[in-house]
Structure 1
Amino acid sequence: MAERAAEKAYYRFLVLFFNCLLTFGSYFCFDIPSVLQEQFQGNLSCPNGTHYNGTGHNGTTECVEGLGMTPEEYNLLYAIYAWTNALVVIVAGFLIDKLGNRFGVFVFSFLTVLGSSVFALGSHFRGTPYLLPLMLTGRLLFGSGNGSLTIVQNRITAIWFKGKELALAFGLTLSFSRLGSVLNFFFTQQFESRFGIQWTLWGGTLLCVLGFVSAVTVSVLDKVGMKQLGLDGVIQQESKKVRVQDVRQLPLRYWLLVLTIMFFYNGVFPFVADASKFIQDKYPGYSQREAAYIAGAVYDSSLILSAAIGILIDYVGLRGLFAVGCAVLTLPAFALLAFTFVPPLVSTIWLGITYSFAAASMWPSIPLVVPQATLGTAMGLATSVQMIGIGLSNVIVGKILGTKSSELKIPLWRWQNMMVFMLANTIACIIVAVSLNIIDKKEGGTLNRSTKRSPTEQVAGQPADTASLLNDVDDERSIN
């Protein structure tokens, strides 16, 4: 019947489809600076015209016309995004728990549109004192929206798929987001060479508008679905109980999981931000476009593998062990980049595979260790800690790579020091992930248990955390 459509599997996957589109455009926008790093750090003018192949095959540096940023200013674009997330997502997660998903998707998707617009506007002021403040303001607003939007996205996914295909749903969400990143690495440089940096940034803004339209759509579907299932009132009642003090009740496993996520992402995201330029500086013969393709292979792998890995983890569990394993296997990827001249595509594909396992095992573990009512707050805190780490890493990388000049060539010893820093973060991730598994085993082994068990086993094993929200409501109806 129409009024019971929300109980059908197709309905929750329809919600998932539009939920996935929420961040497609914003993920495209996020890494535009990475693809166009030469243009962001290029000279304000070139005596012999503009050249888009930054480093010639003979080892000489060609002039690239661009925005004239220094390496430190460029990395600040990523750092301020991360720091803004770190501050905003804590409040955002709490507000989402109190005011609901529909409030969150509307406000935060609008902020991504506003932020990307201000960022694009700033590019029109190159050579003036207004360039950097405008672009930083744009990234600040964009970061306020995108990080918080990811929390809402994860919360919607967790509510509709808890006790069902949870890791698969998280994997598909990641795949759609990474599709935006992949398309950015494939097409942005070509688009910029034809239309210029300003129109390229405005094109990214248009994709954020697509996310805003998806936000309106998913809000309608969520409202209709919750009403059909009779869950609207239940969720509102739970939201009224959420208090700031609840943060103190989050378990040790949660905090270890958060640190595991932070240290792993400290290696991946700052590397991707500078990967295109690193490849051109270290490995001879790569054009800017080829380097962008190779750097984007991190996200290509994630796009292809995330859904399949999600299905695997739903059936076998072992989230904690996967977290340790993917961190251990990330070490060789950074080691190859730091100490050898093995083609960089090997390392970026390798890193993409371990990143896919990390994302599919770490983030879906959060709903398993915190109460449903505080999920938004927990996701917000996790994202905040993650972004604090990434922001500090971006600044440290900027210092390592040098801050005095916008010249395109950076000495290889500086790049090697950056890779050693990535290795250090990965080793820290391994240590924390091992501790997480030890604590989890003492407390029942929730993280390494499969979610594809019978409902009876789920409720017996973890009544407050892993039982389906729908089953909870059915039980409440039977009692009444």
Structure 2
Amino acid sequence: MPSATKGYYRFLILTFNSLALVGCYYCYDIPSTIQGILQAPLSCNESNITECTEGFGLNSVQYNQLYAISSFSCGVSVLIAGYLVDRCGNVVGLIMFSVFAVIGTLIFAISALFKGALLMFPGMLIGRLFFGSAYGSTSVIANRMTAFWFKDKEIALAFGFVISSWRAAGCLNFFLSKSFANDFGVIWTLWFGTLLVCISFLAAIVSSALEIHGKKQLPIIDYKLVTFRLLDVVKLSPLYWLTSASLALNFSIIYAFIADSSEFIRIKYNYAADSTAPSYYTGTVYLVATFLSPIIGMLIDQIGRRCLLGVFSSIGSILVFCMFAFTHFHPLIGTILLGIIVGITGTALWSCLPLVVPEAILGTAMGVSTCIVMLSISSCNMIVGEILQDQEQNEKRWKLVMIFLLGLSVVYLIINILTYIIDIKKGGVLNTTKKKTKKSRPSSETQDALFTNTENEGIPLIH
């Protein structure tokens, strides 16, 4: 095994850490790429539409429930996952939730075999329930591992690399799954996704082995001995809560759009039901973010300015949904701009959390943040489903969805401006570079004293 003291070791862990979630990020948006098939009637005899594609007969509410239930289960499980890894370590959580991901995708793929039966949709929901619990939890653990191995180093670049690999998986789904489903059928498409999740499980095992081997060679503070309560998280600084709110609004806007965007683009821009162009345009969001995230990460490590980037991204979000709601510009313009926004905000905002949260409770804090994000996404998916209920073919309904996302973008801008103002008053901790962070971080002995507490004191928190 290589030496953990070498610089390349952390990048080796980063590589397998990223691969451990590729399957999850590929499978998360599979329903979006095959939305038309999922919502098509079970039999063309049941439809009055001239050009009919036989599908699974889901209505708009049922379809959005597939996203809502995975977001909800994710929001609940990440609280457990964050606390678990702070107490038991990353390896236990990563392996356990990777197994849940395999179980969830298996159940979803098997349920599709019962097309038209009463068991089909409940089985799909159960599969997405298991999958959602793994999707967010493994993300929290991967982010915690990244923060540990890259603290005081290229932390924004590392987060950018991780996010880039995950977006690449989502991009692969949008560019591949619809064509694959047209050629081989939905069932084989779902089994291919399950195979990728199994491969990611193997990567999680390798990442865990590297983590165990590496930490044996490094002097590490044993935070398992620190006494803290889950409620201690409420004592975290306002910057932590504003960053969490900003993450929640950003991902709610993006994911709510991604979930229905293929069908939105098909209807508004008059594409055929079997056209792959809407999925390709949606996949452009992830494609742009894939290449942009590492670049943004390197830039942030050198110049900081995380809050300012958040303000610019929220302004861009407002422009995008104004375009989709009130104009007929080519959809590729909007999806490219959204890809730039995703590339900026994912890297900038997630890398803020290790700067305002003590390492001893970083897993718990990231779990709470992810919980807020996923519950927000779940709520948005349900609202979008209600707006489109029984009238998904009506372009006016889609316009209402875009206006709803536009309203969220305005709130997102207000939160980012408020974060920027407070951060300036606090000394600009979120706008710092890696060099300034390293100079200002206390030594290991100081941190050890900082995180040692009594039962009644609670854990000292960074403000």
Fold agreement, TM-score > 0.5: yes
| Aligned counterpart, 1:57 | none
1:273 to 252, 259, 277: 259
The within-5 A match list for 1:101-180 is: 101-180=90-169
Q: Are the structure 2 counterparts of residues 454 and 279 from structure 1 closer, same or farther at C-alpha, using a change threshold of 3 Å?
A: closer
Letter matched to residue 252 of structure 1: P
The aligned residue for residue 425 of structure 2 is 442
Of 52, 58, 68, the match for 1:63: 52
The CA distance in 2 between the partners of 1:91 and 1:472, in whole Å, is 25
Distance in 2, Cα, partners of 1:147 & 1:239:
26
- Tell me, in whole angstroms, the C-alpha distance in 2 between the residues paired with 1:470 and 1:376: 21
CA 1:470–1:216 in 2, change beyond 3 Å: closer, same or farther?
A: farther
Alignment of 1:411 with 2:394, yes or no, is: yes
Aligned to 2:340: 353
What amino acid is the match of 2:36? E
Structure 2 CA distance for aligned equivalents of residues 109 and 43 of structure 1 = 34
| Structure 2 counterparts to residues 27-426 of structure 1, below 5 A | 27-47=25-45, 62-231=51-220, 234-235=221-222, 237-238=223-224, 240-285=226-271, 288-402=275-389, 404=390, 410-426=393-409
User: Whole-Å Cα distance in 2 between the matches of residues 81 and 354 of structure 1?
Assistant: 24
**Cα drift, residue 288 of structure 1:** 2.7
Q: Name structure 1 gaps, 5 residues minimum.
A: 50-59, 474-480
Q: Which amino acid aligns with 1:114?
A: I
Kept in 1: contact 2:160–2:347 (CA 8 A): yes
Q: Match of 1:417, as an amino acid?
A: L
Taking a change above 3 Å as real, the CA distance of residues 426 and 61 of structure 1, as seen in their structure-2 partners, is farther
1:13 to 7, 11, 14: 11
Q: Report the CA distance between 1:248 and its aligned residue.
A: 2.5
Residues 135 and 285 of structure 1: CA distance in aligned 2, closer, same or farther (over 3 Å): closer
Q: Distance in 1 between matches of 2:225 and 2:346?
A: 27
Any idea what SS the aligned residue of 2:433 has?
coil
CA shift for structure 1 position 293:
0.2
Displacement, 1:281? Answer: 0.1
Task: Show CA shifts across 1:245-277 (max 9, x none).
Answer: 321321111111111111111110010110110
The DSSP-based 3-state class of the residue aligned with 1:296 is helix
Distance 1:13 1:433 in 2: 31
Of 418, 440, 446, which residue of structure 2 is paired with 1:458?
A: 440
Question: 1:320 deviation in Å?
Answer: 1.1
Q: For the residues of structure 1 that align with 2:422 and 2:405, how far apart are their CA atoms? A: 26
Number of residue pairs the alignment of both structures matches: 448
Instruction: State whether residues 25 and 207 of structure 1, in contact with CA within 8 Å, keep that contact through their aligned partners in structure 2.
Output: yes
Identity %: 40
> 1:357-380: per-residue Cα shift (whole Å, max 9, x none)?
111110110010010011001110
C-alpha distance in structure 1 between counterparts of 2:50 and 2:215, whole Å: 59
Could you report, residue by residue, the CA deviation over 1:108-140 in whole angstroms, capped at 9, with x for unpaired residues? 111000001001111011111111110000000
Aligned-residue Cα RMSD (Å) equals 2.1
Q: Which is worse superposed, 241-250 or 37-46?
A: 241-250
- In 2, the alpha carbon distance for the partners of 1:284 and 1:470 equals 64
> Any stretches of 5+ residues in structure 2 without a counterpart?
449-463
Query: Quick check: 2:152–2:437 contact (8 Å CA) kept in 1?
Result: no
1:46 deviation in Å?
A: 2.4
Code of the aligned partner of 2:276: R
DSSP 3-state at the match of 2:397: helix
Partners in 2 of 1:41 and 1:97 — Cα distance?
A: 42
Letter in 1 for 2:40: G
